[in-house]
Structure 1
Amino acid sequence: MTSDLYPVARLAAAQEATRRAGIDALLLTPGPDLRYITGYEALPLERLTCLVVPAAGDAFLMVPRLELPAAEHSPASRLGVEFVAWEETDDPFAHVAKRLGGGVARVALADRMWAMTSLRFRDALPGAEQVLASSVLREMRMRKSPAEVAALREAGAAIDAVHAQVPGFLRPGRTEREVGRDIADAIIAAGHATVDFVIVASGPNGASPHHDLSDRVIQAGEPVVVDIGGQMPSGYCSDSTRVYCVGEPPADFAAYYEVLRQAQEAACAAVRPGVTCESIDAAARRVIEEAGYGELFIHRTGHGIGLETHEDPYIVAGNAEPLAPGFAFSVEPGIYRSGAHGARIEDIVVCGEDGGERVNVRPRELVVV
C-alpha cells in the first residue's frame, strides 16, 4: 500500500518539476508536501527536518539526531537519499546552504512551512527568492493516482459508516457536544487515525457553515447539520456532510432542502474532464438562485481533498481551470437562514475519464430521526 501511495519515482518527478520551474531547490519540512514525496509523517518541531531537493544533484534529508530512528523506519528510507543527522549544537540551515553551494537564486518552500523556519532559510540563503512549493507540486498533487483514489474511497467508506450511526446519537435533550463526542469516537472506530473536525449544528446554529460544537440542547423538530471528517492511516482524508431532523422538519426548511438536494445533484452530474471548476460551482448555484435562495448560498461549492482536507482545486467562481482525471474535490452547496436553520449536502467526487465518481454513497435525502 505504501509503495503504491508514495512511489519512489515521485522524488525524481518532483526534482524534474523543480528544474522546469526554474527553481534551484525544493525545501520540504514536515507537513503534507513532505509526506506526499516521501511518505514520511515527520513531527513538526522547532528542530529542522527538511527534505532538500536541488534542481541538479542528489536530494538529502536533514533530520535531528534524535529523530533519525523514526526517519529510518519511515517510508523515506526507500528513497535511497542520504539522511544527514544534525546535533543539538549544529546550525542545520547553514548546513543546507553549504550543501547547496553558491548561486542559489530561487527556492521553493513547503506551503505549510512555519514562518520561523522560512525566516531562518531567508537568513541562510540571503540572495534567494522564496516561492511556494505548490508552484512545483500543485499539478502533481491535484492529479490523484489510482492508489490515491483508492485511499479516498476507503476514507469515504469509513466516514459513511459514521454517518450511518448518527441517527442513533440524535435525540431531543442531548447537547451538540454530547453528540459530537459520540461521533468523534465513531470516527476512530471506523478506521481513521485522527479526527479532523466534528460539526454538529442544531437549529439556528445550522446557519453558521463552520459552527463547531456547543452546549446547546437539541430540540424536537430541529434540523441538525453534521459535517465530519478525519485522516486515515494512509494520510488521506474524509469529509462528508449530511442533514438530519429530530422529528418532522419545519415546512420552509423542507422546501429549501429539496432545492439544495437538486443543486448538489446537478453539480455532481456536471463533473467530467475539461469542464471548468467554476462551471461546477455555477451548476449548483444556478438551481439555488432560480428557486430564490441565491443570497443564502454564501460560500464556494467545494475544495480539493487528499493529504489535506482543503487543497487545490477549489470549486469556485473565477477558477477557470479545467478538470482532469484524478482531480478529487468536495461538492457541498449550502443554504443558510440566519437565526433559523441551515443545510449543506457534501460528497467527495473524483473526476474520471468519462465523468465523476462520488466516494460517499449515503442517502442525500433529509433523514428524519
Structure 2
Amino acid sequence: MGSRWQKAQELSAARGIDALLITPGADLRYLTGYEALPLERLTCLVLPSEGDPTLVVPALERAAAVASGVDVTVASWNETDDPFALVASLVGDAATIGIDDHMWAARVFALGAALPGADQVLGGSIVSELRIRKDADEAQALREAGVFIDRVHERMGEWLRPGRTEREVGTDIAAAILVEHATCDFVIVGSGPNGASPHHELSDRVIQEGDPVLVDIGGTTPAGYCSDSTRNYLAGGSVPAEYAEFYAVLETAQTAQREHARPGVTAESVDAVGRHIIADAGYGDLFMHRTGHGIGQETHEEPYIVAGNDLVLTEGMAFSIEPGIYVEGHFGARIEDIAICTADGLEVLNNTPRELVIL
C-alpha cells in the first residue's frame, strides 16, 4: 500500500496540504489495507505531505491493525489518554490540514480544538483522485465481483414466483449473495407498483402472476470490491403492453450508452446519450436519476455519470450504466451493468440477459 499513500503525499504537497487525516472508511482501507472498525474510539491515519505516516489506534485495536499488515507506524493510545492531542503532536506545525470527507463532525471539531493554528480543508479529493482509476489488480477484483453477482441473477427462477412475498424472495437472494460474497450489501425486489420506487425496500407485498419485478442486488467480495447489477423479471403471465413498450426504449437507451462510453468521452455525455433516447420516446420525466456511479471499494464513489459532470473518462475508471423508467402506481424497470474503461474501449462486467426474463 506504500505506493498509494506516497502518491497521496505527492498530491497533498502539490495542493498545499501539509497533512491528511483519514479516519475509518474506504479511504483508510485503500491507503493502508486496514479495515478499521468505526468505533467511538479514535482511529486516524496521520499522513504528512513529507515524512512517514502514522496510524493512531486505540490500544485494544493495536493487534488488529498490526495483523492487517499495514506498512506504516502504529501508535496506540490508552483509555485515559487524549487521542486528539496525540494526533496534534504528530501533525506538528502543519498550517493546512486535509480532513477526510466522511469524518464524524465531533472529530472534526475536536481536531480543530487540538490544532487551533491549522486551517482545516476537505481532503477527500486527494484520495478520490487515486481511487477513481483502478489498477490491474482492482480491475480483476471488479471482474470477479461481476461474475459472482451474475451467478445470483442466473438463479432467480429458483426464488421469484407468484405467491411469495418480496421479503421471502429477498431473503433467499441475500443468502445466495453471501455464498458468493463476503457481505450482502443490498437487495431490492420491486414487484408491480413497487418497481416504480428506485430504492424500494423489501416489503410483505405478495408477488402476483404477471407482475414485472425489478431486482437490484450487490455485495462486497472478500477482496473488498463491490458488485451492483439490476435485471428485470416477469413473474409468469403476460407482459403488460405499456411495460413492453417502454422496456424496449430502455433497452435501446442502455445499449447506446454502453456503446458510447469509452476513454475520451465525458461522463455527462454518457448520461445524455440514453436520456435523449428516453425523452424522445416521451418518457423523459420518468427517468429521474443519474445514469450511473463509480464503484470500487464502495458501491457509490467517483466518477458519477450525470449531467453537469464534464469529467473526461480515462482508462481504469469503473462505473455503472443504469438508466431507468418508472411509472408511479404501476411498475418500473432499470437495466444496470458495471463497466470499466480499457485503454481504447469499454469492458462490461455483467453479462446476464438484459431483456425482460419471463420466469
Q: TM-score range by the shorter chain?
A: over 0.9
Say whether 1:278 aligns with 2:272.
no
State the Cα distance separating 1:38 from its structure 2 match: 0.6
Tell whether the 8 Å contact from 2:46 to 2:90 is kept in structure 1 after alignment. Answer: no
What is the aligned-residue RMSD (CA, Å)? 1.0
Q: Which residue does the alignment assign to 2:9?
A: 15
Q: Does 1:63 align with 2:57?
A: yes
* From 208, 211, 221, the counterpart of 1:222: 211
Aligned position for 1:94: 85
Q: Structure 1 residue 290: deviation in Å? A: 1.6
Q: Does 1:129 align with 2:122?
A: no
> Does the CA-based 8 Å contact 1:263-1:287 persist in structure 2?
yes
Rounded Cα–Cα distance in structure 1 between residues aligned with 2:69 and 2:278? 46
Identity of aligned residues (%): 61
**Greater mean alpha carbon deviation, residues 92-101 or residues 314-323:** 92-101
Deviation at 1:153, TM superposition (A): 0.4
For the residue of structure 2 that corresponds to 1:171, the secondary structure is coil
Q: Does the aligned pair in 1 maintain the 2:210–2:234 contact within 8 Å?
A: yes
Contact 1:33 1:111 in 2 (8 A): no
Match of 1:203 in 2: 192
2:232 corresponds to which residue?
A: 243
- Residue aligning to 1:332: 322
Match of residue 34 from structure 2: 40
Residue aligning to 1:232:
221
Residues 1:49 and 2:43 aligned together: yes
Structure 2: distance between partners of 1:278 and 1:336 = 21
Contact 1:347-1:360 within 8 A present in 2 as well: yes
Match of residue 180 from structure 1? 170
> What count of residue pairs does the alignment treat as equivalent?
358
Report the residue type matching 1:33 in the other structure: D
How far, CA to CA, are the matches of 1:154 and 1:34 in structure 2?
A: 23
Task: Write the distance in 2 (CA, Å) between the matches of 1:114 and 1:193.
Answer: 26
Return the alpha-carbon distance in structure 2 between the equivalents of residues 129 and 186 of structure 1: 48
For the pair 1:168 / 2:158, whether they are aligned, the reply is: yes
Q: Name the structure 2 match of 1:3.
A: none
- The partner residue of 2:73 within 76, 79, 82 is 82
Secondary structure of 2:50 counterpart: coil
* Matches of 1:116 and 1:180, distance apart in 2: 36
Does the 8 A contact of 1:229 with 1:237 survive in 2? Answer: yes
Q: Report the equivalent of 1:357.
A: 347
Aligned to 1:300: 290
The corresponding residue for 1:255 is 245
Q: SS in structure 2 opposite 1:75?
A: coil
Q: Is the 8 A contact 2:250 2:324 kept in 1?
A: yes
Q: Is the 8 A contact 1:167 1:244 kept in 2?
A: no
Pairwise CA distance, 1:128: 2.4
Moved more, 123-132 or 65-74: 123-132
- Report the alpha carbon displacement of residue 139 of structure 1 after superposing the two structures with TM: 1.5
What amino acid maps onto 1:99 in structure 2? L
Q: Give the letter aligned to residue 79 of structure 2.
A: E
Deviation at 1:95, TM superposition (A): 1.2
Letter in 2 for 1:71: A
Superposition TM-score, scaled by structure 2 size:
0.98
Q: Deviation per CA, 1:14-68: give whole Å up to 9, x if none.
A: 1111111110111111100000001110111111111100112221111111001
Offset, 1:216 = 0.4
d(CA) in 2 for partners of 1:99, 1:185: 45
Code of the residue aligned with 1:22 in structure 2: it is: G
**Residues 60 and 284 of structure 1: CA distance in aligned 2, closer, same or farther (over 3 Å):** same
CA distance in 2, matches of 1:328, 1:134: 18
Task: Give 2:109's aligned residue.
Answer: 119
Q: Deviation at 1:212?
A: 1.3
User: Which ranges of structure 1 fall in alignment gaps of 5 or more residues?
Assistant: 1-6
Separation (CA, whole Å) in 2 of partners of 1:82 and 1:166: 48
Which residue of the partner structure matches residue 254 of structure 2?
Answer: 264
Deviation at 1:130, TM superposition (A): 2.2
The yes-or-no answer on 1:212 pairing with 2:177 is no
- SS of 1:52's equivalent in the other structure is strand
